[in-house]
Homo-oligomer: A and B are copies of this chain.
Amino acid sequence: MTTPLIEMRNISKTFGAVTALSKVSLRLEAGGVLGLIGDNAAGKSTLMKILAGALRADSGEILIDGKPATFAHPIAARDAGIEMIYQDFALVPELTVTQNIFLGREITRRIAGVKVLDRSAMNVRAKEMFAALGLRVPAVTLPVQALSGGQQQAVAIARATGFEARLVIMDEPTANLGAPAIERVRETITRLKKSGVAVIIISHRLEDIFAVGDRFMVMKQGQLVGEREVHDTDNADLVEMIVTGADPRKPLVAV
């Protein structure tokens, strides 16, 4: 086995008295597409927020290219090439589509030595990003609060996939999308995979992962229940694992 791009070891996390994660481990190679599935409140979003630096684990370690990296802050994770599409999109409602997309890595130009936002360049680039994705939004100069749920999701997807990332995490990327847009997202994932980017998808829509994924990881109540290769499982098998929280192939989960 080669050194994985990402490895999470024994991650635990509690919120007050709620144990959201207990000793969860995960590994993913470059170009791999992992589907993270599980019932509501299984801890999927929490695990991914830790990987993206938005939350800090209580214990456990994260390795990138085999080297330990504790992401104290989203800045560090972004610098390491990790992008995340949050379940609630994490968009600033008052800012425009373009501003949201480029937030934190604006294009600037110098006027008389002063760095100035290059707004037209960013608008053009944003339009190109949507064109490349095949996703649709109205004018990129609209504030995102004027967009419908699905349009906001498209903005979040464009932001996460439009820059050079090594790992893209997608938390329910298709929950608010219509059929054509879902098709586009699947194409995007395939494209990312081809260019060597690793992808983690959280989705209740198993069919999305069957379509483009390599591997499933099933969680329940903050613990890893089991793993499956996509070619080695079927819907019923996975649903059983999600519901019962036990892997029928192994008597006990040992991580």
Give residues of chain A (131-149) contacting chain B, Cβ–Cβ below 8 Å.
136, 138, 146-149
Complex CA–CA separation, A243 to B180 (angstroms): 7
Interface size class of A (residues with CB under 8 A): 35 or more
B176 near A149 with CB under 8 A, answer no
Given B16, B45, B148, B172, which contacts A41 in the complex, CB threshold below 8 Å? B148
Give residues of chain A (120-178) contacting chain B, Cβ–Cβ below 8 Å.
136, 138, 146-151, 153-154, 172, 175-178
A41 near B147 with CB under 8 A, answer yes
B147 near A178 with CB under 8 A, answer no
A243 near B179 with CB under 8 A, answer yes
B39 near A181 with CB under 8 A, answer yes
A18 interfacial contact with B, CB 8 Å: yes
Given B45, B149, B176, B179, which contacts A148 in the complex, CB threshold below 8 Å? B45
Residue among A146, A149, A239 facing the most chain B CB atoms (10 A cut-off): A149
A242 near B180 with CB under 8 A, answer yes
B40 near A181 with CB under 8 A, answer yes
* Complex interface: chain B residues within 8 A of A39 (CB): 150, 178-181
* Complex interface: chain B residues within 8 A of A172 (CB): 149, 175-176
Complex CA–CA separation, A28 to B18 (angstroms): 44
- Can you offer 8 A-B residue contacts whose CB atoms are under 8 A? A39-B150, A39-B181, A40-B176, A41-B148, A176-B204, A179-B242, A180-B242, A182-B204
A38 interfacial contact with B, CB 8 Å: yes
* Complex interface: chain B residues within 8 A of A146 (CB): 15-16, 18
Residue among A18, A40, A243 facing the most chain B CB atoms (10 A cut-off): A40
Complex CA–CA separation, A181 to B136 (angstroms): 31
Chain B proximity of A197: nearest CB distance (Å):
25
* Complex interface: chain B residues within 8 A of A175 (CB): 172, 175-176
Complex CA–CA separation, A39 to B172 (angstroms): 17
* Complex interface: chain B residues within 8 A of A10 (CB): none
A96 interfacial contact with B, CB 8 Å: no
A87 interfacial contact with B, CB 8 Å: yes
B87 near A149 with CB under 8 A, answer yes
